[in-house]
Amino acid sequence: MVNKTVYIAVGLKTNGLKEVLGLWLGKNESAAFWMGVLTDMKARGVEDILITATDNLNGFTDTIKASFPESVTQICVVH
């Protein structure tokens, strides 16, 4: 048996519509994994992220800032 997780990024456009930005398959979640995701999103045309919501994964906020320096990160309280 192989355990893997599918991670999804969903964006909310300025007109209020949601858009699936991508699905990524991974063995475990890490800041390095998310750096690959953010790099992929930029390569596919995402120009800016206004606000991100995360569960405060160690190093993730810094990873977001490295890719999208103007982004503001909101830490989830409950998920």
Domains in the chain: how many in total? 1
Phi, psi of 18 (to 5 degrees): -85, 150
Name residues of the chain where pLDDT drops below 50: none
Q: Tell me the residue range of the domain where 20 lies.
A: 5-75
Picking from 61, 16, 2, 55, the residue whose alpha carbon sits closest to that of residue 35 is 61
Q: How many whole angstroms separate alpha carbon 56 and alpha carbon 64?
A: 11
DSSP letter assigned to residue 79: -
Q: How many whole angstroms separate alpha carbon 29 and alpha carbon 49?
A: 20
* Torsion sign over Cα 2, 3, 9, 10: positive
Q: What is the pLDDT, as a whole number, of residue 25?
A: 93
**Residues in a beta bridge with 10:** 20
Q: What is the pLDDT, as a whole number, of residue 23?
A: 96
Q: What is the pLDDT, as a whole number, of residue 79?
A: 55
